[in-house]
Amino acid sequence: MVLGFVLLLIFFTLVFKKDIQTLLRVLQIGIKKEFTTKSGGICIVTLLLVAFIGLLFISESNLKYWYMLLFKGRETELDFSKAEAFWGVIGTFIVNCVLLGIMRSKKP
C-alpha cells in the first residue's frame, strides 16, 4: 500500500510538475498575504468563527439537542472528534491561502 502510494505520488509529481510548482508558489504568496491584508483578515475571522462554532457544538449538549431536533433524520449525529475539526479548519486555511495567492499573484 505504501509502495503504491509512493508510486502514485511520483507519477503525479512527474505529470503535474508545473502545476505543483505553481501551486506551491501561489501558496507561499497566499500565506504571506493572509496575515498582512484586509481580505486575509476577513478569512482568518471566518475560520475562527467556524472553529468556534464547531467546538461549541461538540462541547455543548444543549446545542446538540437543538441540532438533532431541527435536522432530525439520517446521519445527523455529531460523530466527529476535535482532531477532525482541527484538520478541517487547517484544510480550509490552506484552500484560503491558495485562493488569496491566486488573486494576489501576477496574471499570466
Partner 1 sequence: MNTRSDIGSYPGEHGRESRELDYEKSLPQDVSKQQLERLYLLFQTLHVTTKMEAEATRFHVTVEMDKTRTELKNVIQEGDLTVIDCIKFNSAKNIQLISLIAIGTTVFSLLISFLLKINILNPFFAGLFLIASIGFYLMATVEQKRS
Q: Out of 18, 61, 62, 81, point to the residue binding partner 1 (CB under 8 A).
A: 18
Q: Out of 6, 8, 10, 49, point to the residue binding partner 1 (CB under 8 A).
A: 49
DSSP state letter for 75: T
Q: Out of 76, 82, 87, 94, point to the residue binding partner 1 (CB under 8 A).
A: 76
Contacts of 40 (CB under 8 A, 6+ apart): 33, 34, 100
Least distance CB 18 / partner 1 (angstroms) = 6
Radius of gyration of the chain (CA): 19
| Shorter beta-carbon distance to partner 1: residue 2 or 70 | 70
Angle separating helix axes 82-104 and 38-59, nearest 10 degrees: 170
Cα separation, 87 vs 9, in Å, equals: 21
Q: Can you give the binding site for partner 1, defined by CB under 8 A?
A: 18-19, 22-23, 26, 38-40, 42-43, 45-47, 49-50, 53-54, 57, 67, 70-76, 78, 88, 92, 96, 99-100, 102-108
